[in-house]
Amino acid sequence: MMIETLSQQRVRLAHDLVSSRLGRDEATVYGRLCHRFPMMVMQGGLITATLFIDSKSTGKDARAKAHQAILSDLARVLGLGDADVVGTLTRQQDALTLMAWTHEVLHTWAMMRRFAVSILKVESGGEDDGEAV
């Protein structure tokens, strides 16, 4: 049995999450969100960024699907499985846990950004389709 470092686990998870979007309608919007989500977390905090993504996740178009995918991936990164990530974050009162989750999200999303470029071919600051993410 091979023992993986935390960095290796993050890389594997990020690769699996991003590559699962390859070829889907929402891949381009998802790739842009992979670039923007860490900045949203750093500027407004993990809860605020998550609430913003959640507010954009209603509907069945590619944009809504991309936001739903980010929420699903966030739950996987935080080890919440299929749990309601928005509900879990807003009910969480422990500041240390929120700090640890923020740290984990930022480190994993750094790799997701790289895979968005190499797998999905979505560059940072790429062309937007005229709508806000």
**Which CATH number does the domain housing residue 62 bear?**
1.10.520.30
> Residue 98: inside a domain, yes or no?
yes
Q: What is the pLDDT of residues 8-63, one digit of tens each?
A: 999 999 999 999 999 999 999 999 999 999 999 999 999 999 999 999 999 999 99
> Residue 51: inside a domain, yes or no?
yes
Q: Using 50, 70 and 90 to split pLDDT, how confident is the model at 82? A: confident
pLDDT confidence of residue 130 = 44
Task: Compute the average pLDDT of residues 82-98.
Answer: 87
> Residue 55: inside a domain, yes or no?
yes
pLDDT confidence of residue 90 = 87
> Residue 97: inside a domain, yes or no?
yes
pLDDT confidence of residue 11 = 97
> Residue 10: inside a domain, yes or no?
no
Residue 18 contacts residue 112 (beta carbons within 8 Å)? yes
Give the C-alpha separation, 8 to 128, whole Å: 32
- Is a pLDDT exceeding 90 seen at residue 129? no
pLDDT confidence of residue 132 = 54
What is the extent of the structural domain holding 32? Answer: 26-118
> Residue 17: inside a domain, yes or no?
no
Residue % of the chain over a pLDDT of 70: 92
Please count the structural domains in the chain: 1
Give the C-alpha separation, 73 to 70, whole Å: 5
- CA torsion sign for 57, 60, 61, 65 is positive
Average model confidence (pLDDT) across the chain: 92
Block residue for tokens 């993050």: 10
- Is a pLDDT exceeding 60 seen at residue 131? no
Number of helices and strands (H, E) in the chain?
6, 0
> Residue 125: inside a domain, yes or no?
no
Q: Which residues of 84-105 are buried (b: 16+ CB within 10 A; e: fewer)?
A: ebbeebeeeeeeeeeeebbebb
Secondary structure, 3-state, 2-52? CCCCHHHHHHHHHHHHHHCCCCCCCHHHHHHHHHHHHHHHHHHCHHHHHHH
